């Protein structure tokens, strides 16, 4: 469940940043600022849900069933399905969730491997052409290359496929990508999209990043071009040839219209930099979302309780006749137990015990409270409510009516006193408001 919640929170945070970019920053000519904004959006959407943001939820109740088939459960986390919060965000164990997570991870692994295969194919081109260096940058001439592109610190191109003026424009553009380290952005975006493949905003953000990087390279190439019109004409001539790999920069990247529009746009005025302040409400909304959907830190009463098998004579009937045995009994009780608000507000806590009779036909009768140390009738009624919610036992016409007891420690964190000698079947932990 936590994985699913993390993916949802990450998706919503990235959506907020993307909408801010689309609404206020996309048409500005602050390309370098936009580059960092988009990179930051990916990083923050992945990191923010992991930060220890305080939960907005208060007074949350956690039910911990204290017998497990392996023995002691005290002081440690319950098994999936044995913990249930009753605050604004209720966490229920879903039987299909582990399988869904496995499928999700397999798809992510497949996408990561596919990206690695693309990288390998790019490096395999090194042996197909003639290389030379110009300063820190490497240029690889490959005859028959469909389209020029750059990756890392290398520019790949076919020197015979273009006229001299067009080739110079191509080299200026691709060298700008190399000099500014744009491959890192594409690799990071590809990695992000592989991990968060289910989030449509990851692909939209990556596309916005690719376009903005083209703006940056065009800006640098135009500063070297003698004629902006000639540069744009070279761009149009190359529009028909496209490379399909998503990890590389190529001169004929399919954003021709947007690139030419931005080349002819007047530089944004300095006052437009104030638009980056929009990141603040996006951050606030993102953090608020995490806080609203984050369950309070799960803490447990430090009581050393023994398993039901060690101290209960009626455990066999639960194992034999309750649907799914003791584990099903644990899930049923722990998912539904509440800590009544009035008892919580009055700082009432302690041990409550009820008993009921299981008839040969599986029906439950004669449920009553036999012990209530809390002084709050509502706590006894809550445990009786759990008995009424039980689905019934399996019929056994050869069996006699059997009495079963159900005990609970209502533990108010910060108020209750810890007593390691207490033995109950379930601990209901509430956090004081």
More confident residue, 424 or 196: 196
| Per-residue pLDDT, 304 | 31
Residues of the chain with pLDDT > 70, as a percent, come to 78
Spatial contact of 401 and 360, defined as CB atoms under 8 Å apart? yes
**Can you tell me the distance from the alpha carbon of 195 to that of 192, in angstroms, rounded to the nearest whole number?**
5
Angle at Cα 308 formed by Cα 305 and Cα 314, nearest 5°?
145
Give the ranges where 48-181 is alpha helix by DSSP (H).
Answer: 97-124, 164-179
pLDDT band, very low/low/confident/very high, at 251 (cuts 50, 70, 90) = low
| Per-residue pLDDT, 241 | 54
Residues pairing with 357 in the sheet: 365, 403
Spatial contact of 40 and 276, defined as CB atoms under 8 Å apart? no
Q: 177-181, 196-200, 250-254: which range is least confident on average?
A: 250-254
Please choose, from the candidates 59, 105, 101, the residue with its C-alpha nearest in 3D space to the C-alpha of residue 80. 101
pLDDT of residue 37 exceeding 80, the answer is yes
Per-residue pLDDT tens over the stretch 410-425: 887 777 776 767 778 8
Maximum average pLDDT range among 121-125, 200-204, 217-221: 200-204
Per-residue pLDDT tens over the stretch 288-309: 777 566 554 434 333 333 333 4
Spatial contact of 208 and 26, defined as CB atoms under 8 Å apart? yes
Q: How far, in Å, are 70, 206, 371, 389 from residue 105 at the CA level?
A: 30, 21, 49, 37
| Per-residue pLDDT, 324 | 80
| pTM value surpassing 0.75 | no
**Can you tell me the distance from the alpha carbon of 142 to that of 146, in angstroms, rounded to the nearest whole number?**
10
Q: 131-145, 243-257, 283-297, 302-316: which range is least confident on average?
A: 302-316
pLDDT of residue 81 exceeding 60, the answer is no
Token reading at 311: 């101290």
Please choose, from the candidates 338, 365, 345, the residue with its C-alpha nearest in 3D space to the C-alpha of residue 354. 365
Please choose, from the candidates 286, 119, 100, the residue with its C-alpha nearest in 3D space to the C-alpha of residue 190. 119
Per-residue pLDDT tens over the stretch 43-68: 999 998 888 765 544 444 555 555 43
Please choose, from the candidates 298, 280, 403, 306, the residue with its C-alpha nearest in 3D space to the C-alpha of residue 60. 298
Per-residue pLDDT tens over the stretch 332-382: 877 777 888 888 888 888 899 999 999 999 999 999 999 998 888 998 998
């Amino acid at each position: 469940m936590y994985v699913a919640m993390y993916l949802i929170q990450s998706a919503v945070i990235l959506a907020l940043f993307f909408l801010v970019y689309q609404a206020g920053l996309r048409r500005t000519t602050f390309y370098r600022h936009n580059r960092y904004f988009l990179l930051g959006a990916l990083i923050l959407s992945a990191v923010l849900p992991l930060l220890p943001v305080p939960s907005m939820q208060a007074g949350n109740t956690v039910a911990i069933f204290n017998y497990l088939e392996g023995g002691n459960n005290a002081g440690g986390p319950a098994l999936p399905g044995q913990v249930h919060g009753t605050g604004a965000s209720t966490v229920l164990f879903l039987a299909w969730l582990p399988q869904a997570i496995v499928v999700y991870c397999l798809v992510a692994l497949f996408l990561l491997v596919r990206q690695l295969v693309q990288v390998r194919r790019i490096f395999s081109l090194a042996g197909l052409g003639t290389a030379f260096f110009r300063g820190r940058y490497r240029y690889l001439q490959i005859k028959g290359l469909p389209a020029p592109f750059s990756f890392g610190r290398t520019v790949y191109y076919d020197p015979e496929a273009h006229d001299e003026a067009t080739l110079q424009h191509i080299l200026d553009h691709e060298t700008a990508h190399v000099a500014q380290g744009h491959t890192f952005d594409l690799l990071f975006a590809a990695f992000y999209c592989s991990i968060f493949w289910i989030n449509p905003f990851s692909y939209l953000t990556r596309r916005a990043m690719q376009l903005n990087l083209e703006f940056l390279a065009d800006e640098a190439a135009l500063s070297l071009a003698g004629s902006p019109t000639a540069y744009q004409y070279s761009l149009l001539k190359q529009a028909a040839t496209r490379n399909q790999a998503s990890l590389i920069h190529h001169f004929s990247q399919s954003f021709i219209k947007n690139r030419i529009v931005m080349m002819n746009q007047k530089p944004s005025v300095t006052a437009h930099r104030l638009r980056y302040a929009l990141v603040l409400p996006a951050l606030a909304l993102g953090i608020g979302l995490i806080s609203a959907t984050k369950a309070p830190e799960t803490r447990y009463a430090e009581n050393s309780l023994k398993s039901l098998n060690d101290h209960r004579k009626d455990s066999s009937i639960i194992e034999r006749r309750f649907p799914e045995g003791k584990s099903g009994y644990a899930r049923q009780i722990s998912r539904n137990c509440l800590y009544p608000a009035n008892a919580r507000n009055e700082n009432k806590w302690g041990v409550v015990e009820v008993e009921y009779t299981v008839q040969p036909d599986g029906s439950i009768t004669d449920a009553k409270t036999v012990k209530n140390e809390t002084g709050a009738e509502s706590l006894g009624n809550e445990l009786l409510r759990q008995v009424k919610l039980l689905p019934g036992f399996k019929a056994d016409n050869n069996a006699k009516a059997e009495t079963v007891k159900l005990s609970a420690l209502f533990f108010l964190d910060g108020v209750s006193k810890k007593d390691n000698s207490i033995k109950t079947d379930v601990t209901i932990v509430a956090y004081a408001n």
